[in-house]
Amino acid sequence: MTKDKVLDDLKEIRSIMDKSTRFISLSGMSGVMAGIYALIGSVVGYFVIEEAREKGYTDTLDSLLYTPWERNPSLKIIVIAAVILFLAVVTAFFLTKIKAAKYKQKIWNKQSIRLVVNFLAPLTIGGLFTLALLQYGLLFLVAPAMLVFYGLACMNAAKYTLGTVKYLGLSCAILGLINTQFIGYGLYFWAAGFGLCHIIYGTVMYYKYDR
């Protein structure tokens, strides 16, 4: 048996093990698109926040619940984030479905369910914590909290998918922590984490795995 044959067999064994323990069909292009959506949302959010500052609107959970739409920057930001999330999820689903078919892997299997559960657990906790920050008017900590908990969610889910996701999570978490020391620049850090980091991560994924 030649050395090349042995290496090929080892690669095949590793591929089979990866498919049985990890969901390897995440699409790199979906990461790029998520980053683009986030950058667009950041631009829109910038104008919403600037308008709120000029007109002296407040940002608390009470204002979110009882203030009319035209004077409710918190609600507008939440709607923008929800639209971005929806577009990112739909894009990721269709592109991942195409890649899964290429690898002959079902999009919903034991590995993908583990991935989703381990991703959503820290993310849900982070979402509830963010609502508490809004409740007490701590808007300046919302962006850092979102980045940190999203980063933790990615790192927690990384063991069930491609390892590159871990570095995306680590980057977002670090940006969130740095953001706590630069209050007032949350939108820029949000754009860097959810926008630029996703584009870089997606590009690496695309050229390393998708092609």
Report which residue type is found at 166. Answer: K
Local structure of residue 27 (DSSP, 8 states) = -
Domain that holds residue 135: 28-210
Is 14 a member of any domain? Answer: no
Q: 161 pairs with which residues across the strands?
A: 23
Contact assessment for residue 45 and residue 127, using Cβ atoms and an 8 Å cutoff:
no
Q: What is the pLDDT of residue 77?
A: 80
Q: What is the pLDDT of residue 57?
A: 65
Helical segments of 158-197, H only: 164-179, 186-190
- The residue whose two tokens read 């991942």 is 96
Whose CA is closest to 89, among 34, 126, 166, 25?
A: 34
Report which residue type is found at 39. Answer: L
Task: Give the pLDDT confidence of 48-105 residue by residue, as tens digits.
Answer: 888 877 777 665 555 566 667 677 777 788 888 889 989 998 998 888 888 777 777 7
Is 35 a member of any domain? Answer: yes
Q: What is the pLDDT of residue 13?
A: 44
Q: What is the pLDDT of residue 20?
A: 47
Domain count, the chain: 1
Q: 23 pairs with which residues across the strands?
A: 161
Is 32 a member of any domain? Answer: yes
The ranges of the chain with pLDDT < 50 are 6, 9-10, 12-21
The dihedral built from the CA positions of residue 70, 73, 74 and 78, taken in this order, carries a sign that is positive
Is 13 a member of any domain? Answer: no
